[in-house]
Protein backbone atom coordinates (compact mmCIF):
# COMPACT_ATOMS: atom_id res chain seq x y z
CA UNK A 1 0.00 0.00 0.00
CA UNK A 2 2.85 2.36 0.76
CA UNK A 3 4.32 1.64 -2.69
CA UNK A 4 1.05 2.61 -4.37
CA UNK A 5 0.89 5.82 -2.37
CA UNK A 6 4.48 6.77 -3.27
CA UNK A 7 3.89 5.99 -6.96
CA UNK A 8 0.73 8.12 -7.06
CA UNK A 9 2.44 10.98 -5.16
CA UNK A 10 5.44 10.90 -7.53
CA UNK A 11 3.21 10.84 -10.61
CA UNK A 12 1.17 13.74 -9.24
CA UNK A 13 4.32 15.75 -8.52
CA UNK A 14 5.65 15.19 -12.06
CA UNK A 15 2.29 16.15 -13.62
CA UNK A 16 2.08 19.28 -11.47
CA UNK A 17 5.64 20.29 -12.46
CA UNK A 18 4.98 19.96 -16.20
CA UNK A 19 1.64 21.75 -16.00
CA UNK A 20 3.35 24.74 -14.32
CA UNK A 21 6.53 24.93 -16.46
CA UNK A 22 5.04 24.03 -19.82
CA UNK A 23 5.52 21.18 -22.26
CA UNK A 24 9.31 21.43 -22.74
CA UNK A 25 11.26 23.74 -25.01
CA UNK A 26 10.72 27.46 -24.99
CA UNK A 27 9.17 29.07 -28.02
CA UNK A 28 11.59 30.28 -30.67
CA UNK A 29 11.80 34.05 -30.85
CA UNK A 30 10.20 35.52 -33.90
CA UNK A 31 12.72 36.75 -36.48
CA UNK A 32 12.56 40.50 -36.97
CA UNK A 33 10.99 41.57 -40.19
CA UNK A 34 13.42 42.98 -42.71
CA UNK A 35 12.39 45.70 -45.04
CA UNK A 36 13.00 44.80 -48.64
CA UNK A 37 15.45 47.16 -50.31
CA UNK A 38 14.77 48.36 -53.77
CA UNK A 39 17.47 48.25 -56.41
CA UNK A 40 17.90 51.60 -58.11
CA UNK A 41 18.96 51.35 -61.74
CA UNK A 42 21.36 54.06 -62.85
CA UNK A 43 22.21 54.67 -66.48
CA UNK A 44 25.75 53.82 -67.53
CA UNK A 45 27.69 56.09 -69.86
CA UNK A 46 28.68 54.42 -73.13
CA UNK A 47 32.29 53.29 -73.40
CA UNK A 48 34.66 55.58 -75.26
CA UNK A 49 37.36 54.15 -77.52
CA UNK A 50 40.87 54.35 -76.07
CA UNK A 51 43.34 56.25 -78.19
CA UNK A 52 47.07 56.80 -77.98
CA UNK A 53 49.23 59.31 -76.17
CA UNK A 54 47.53 62.17 -74.36
CA UNK A 55 44.05 60.97 -75.28
CA UNK A 56 44.63 57.64 -73.57
CA UNK A 57 44.89 59.23 -70.17
CA UNK A 58 47.65 61.26 -68.62
CA UNK A 59 50.48 61.01 -71.13
CA UNK A 60 50.75 57.23 -71.28
CA UNK A 61 51.36 55.63 -74.65
CA UNK A 62 49.51 52.55 -75.76
CA UNK A 63 51.70 49.46 -76.08
CA UNK A 64 52.03 48.58 -79.73
CA UNK A 65 55.07 46.25 -79.57
CA UNK A 66 55.39 42.92 -77.73
CA UNK A 67 57.23 42.96 -74.42
CA UNK A 68 60.96 42.32 -74.53
CA UNK A 69 61.76 38.64 -74.18
CA UNK A 70 63.98 37.63 -71.27
CA UNK A 71 67.66 37.79 -72.09
CA UNK A 72 69.30 34.42 -72.36
CA UNK A 73 72.83 33.65 -71.33
CA UNK A 74 75.07 32.93 -74.34
CA UNK A 75 75.92 29.27 -74.82
CA UNK A 76 79.65 29.94 -74.49
CA UNK A 77 79.22 30.94 -70.83
CA UNK A 78 80.16 27.99 -68.66
CA UNK A 79 81.22 28.60 -65.10
CA UNK A 80 82.79 25.55 -63.49
CA UNK A 81 81.56 24.28 -60.13
CA UNK A 82 83.90 24.68 -57.17
CA UNK A 83 84.31 21.60 -54.95
CA UNK A 84 84.87 21.41 -51.19
CA UNK A 85 86.33 18.93 -48.72
CA UNK A 86 84.03 17.07 -46.34
CA UNK A 87 82.52 19.42 -43.73
CA UNK A 88 84.57 22.40 -45.02
CA UNK A 89 83.69 25.72 -46.61
CA UNK A 90 87.13 27.17 -47.36
CA UNK A 91 88.26 27.48 -50.99
CA UNK A 92 90.87 24.82 -51.78
CA UNK A 93 94.03 25.94 -53.60
CA UNK A 94 93.16 23.72 -56.58
CA UNK A 95 89.76 25.40 -57.00
CA UNK A 96 91.02 29.00 -57.05
CA UNK A 97 91.86 28.96 -60.78
CA UNK A 98 88.19 28.15 -61.52
CA UNK A 99 87.11 31.18 -59.51
CA UNK A 100 89.71 33.38 -61.23
CA UNK A 101 88.21 32.37 -64.60
CA UNK A 102 84.69 33.00 -63.29
CA UNK A 103 85.74 36.45 -62.06
CA UNK A 104 87.33 37.25 -65.44
CA UNK A 105 84.12 36.35 -67.31
CA UNK A 106 81.97 38.38 -64.91
CA UNK A 107 84.23 41.44 -65.09
CA UNK A 108 84.33 41.31 -68.91
CA UNK A 109 80.52 41.09 -69.03
CA UNK A 110 79.10 43.76 -66.70
CA UNK A 111 75.50 42.80 -67.51
CA UNK A 112 76.03 39.32 -66.05
CA UNK A 113 74.88 38.64 -62.51
CA UNK A 114 75.56 35.37 -60.75
CA UNK A 115 73.82 33.33 -58.07
CA UNK A 116 76.13 31.07 -56.10
CA UNK A 117 74.34 27.90 -54.97
CA UNK A 118 75.88 26.12 -51.97
CA UNK A 119 75.44 22.32 -51.95
CA UNK A 120 76.36 19.46 -49.60
CA UNK A 121 76.41 15.68 -49.59
CA UNK A 122 73.67 13.73 -47.82
CA UNK A 123 75.55 13.21 -44.57
CA UNK A 124 74.44 15.44 -41.69
CA UNK A 125 71.05 16.86 -40.75
CA UNK A 126 69.05 19.03 -43.13
CA UNK A 127 69.56 22.13 -40.99
CA UNK A 128 73.30 21.53 -40.65
CA UNK A 129 73.69 21.00 -44.39
CA UNK A 130 71.70 24.16 -45.16
CA UNK A 131 74.06 26.14 -42.92
CA UNK A 132 77.13 24.49 -44.46
CA UNK A 133 75.82 25.17 -47.97
CA UNK A 134 75.31 28.80 -46.97
CA UNK A 135 78.91 29.02 -45.69
CA UNK A 136 80.17 27.51 -48.96
CA UNK A 137 78.18 29.98 -51.07
CA UNK A 138 79.32 32.90 -48.89
CA UNK A 139 82.96 31.79 -49.06
CA UNK A 140 82.73 31.61 -52.84
CA UNK A 141 81.05 35.03 -52.98
CA UNK A 142 83.79 36.52 -50.81
CA UNK A 143 86.53 35.06 -53.01
CA UNK A 144 84.91 36.45 -56.18
CA UNK A 145 84.58 39.85 -54.50
CA UNK A 146 88.27 39.76 -53.56
CA UNK A 147 89.01 39.26 -57.27
CA UNK A 148 87.12 42.46 -58.16
CA UNK A 149 83.54 41.30 -58.83
CA UNK A 150 81.06 43.71 -57.22
CA UNK A 151 79.07 42.05 -54.42
CA UNK A 152 75.94 43.71 -55.81
CA UNK A 153 76.22 41.35 -58.80
CA UNK A 154 76.47 38.21 -56.64
CA UNK A 155 73.67 36.54 -54.69
CA UNK A 156 73.86 33.36 -52.67
CA UNK A 157 71.49 30.53 -51.83
CA UNK A 158 71.93 27.25 -49.97
CA UNK A 159 70.27 24.03 -51.05
CA UNK A 160 72.07 21.86 -48.50
CA UNK A 161 71.64 18.25 -49.58
CA UNK A 162 68.41 18.89 -51.52
CA UNK A 163 69.79 18.99 -55.09
CA UNK A 164 72.45 16.30 -55.50
CA UNK A 165 74.14 15.72 -58.87
CA UNK A 166 74.92 12.14 -57.83
CA UNK A 167 72.67 9.88 -55.73
CA UNK A 168 74.95 6.93 -55.00
CA UNK A 169 76.06 6.37 -51.41
CA UNK A 170 79.85 6.46 -51.65
CA UNK A 171 82.69 8.94 -51.28
CA UNK A 172 83.14 9.44 -55.03
CA UNK A 173 79.54 10.52 -55.37
CA UNK A 174 79.47 12.57 -52.17
CA UNK A 175 82.52 14.57 -53.32
CA UNK A 176 80.59 15.63 -56.46
CA UNK A 177 77.75 16.97 -54.30
CA UNK A 178 79.97 19.14 -52.05
CA UNK A 179 80.05 22.13 -54.38
CA UNK A 180 79.27 25.72 -55.23
CA UNK A 181 77.30 25.95 -58.47
CA UNK A 182 76.84 29.12 -60.54
CA UNK A 183 73.67 30.36 -62.19
CA UNK A 184 74.22 33.33 -64.53
CA UNK A 185 71.49 35.85 -65.34
CA UNK A 186 71.61 38.96 -67.50
CA UNK A 187 70.23 42.22 -66.19
pLDDT at 126 over 50: yes
Average pLDDT of 62-81? 68
Of 53-67, 93-107, 134-148, minimum mean pLDDT range: 53-67
Span 82-186 CATH architecture: 2-Layer Sandwich (3.30)
> For strand 179-186 and strand 112-119, is the pairing parallel, antiparallel, or unpaired?
antiparallel
pLDDT for 53 equals: 47
Q: Of residues 173 and 7, which shows the higher confidence score?
A: 173
What are the tens digits of pLDDT across the range 31-50? 556 555 555 555 555 555 55
Q: How far is CA 162 from CA 58, 99, 158, in A?
A: 50, 24, 9
> What band does 94 get if pLDDT is binned at 50, 70 and 90?
very high
Q: Where are the domains of the chain?
A: 82-186
Instruction: Report phi then psi at 119, rounded to 5.
Output: -125, 160
What pLDDT shows up at residue 8? 64
For the chain, the average pLDDT equals 81
- Bridge-based pairing of strands 154-160 and 112-119 is parallel
Helix then strand then coil, % of the chain, to nearest 5: 40, 15, 50
pLDDT of residue 127: 97
- How far apart, in whole angstroms, are the C-alpha atoms of residue 112 and residue 75? 13
Instruction: Tell me: pLDDT of 143 over 80.
Output: yes
Tell me what pLDDT residue 34 has: 55
For the entire predicted model, the pTM comes to: 0.62
Nearest CA-CA partner of 127 in 82, 150, 105, 158? 158
Averaged over 80-103, what is the pLDDT? 98
Amino acid sequence: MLKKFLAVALTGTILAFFSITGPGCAKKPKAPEVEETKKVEQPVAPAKPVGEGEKAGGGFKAITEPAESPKTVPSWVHLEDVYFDFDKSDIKAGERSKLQETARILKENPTFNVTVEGHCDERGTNSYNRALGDRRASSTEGYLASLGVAKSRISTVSYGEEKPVCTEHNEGCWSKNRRAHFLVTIR
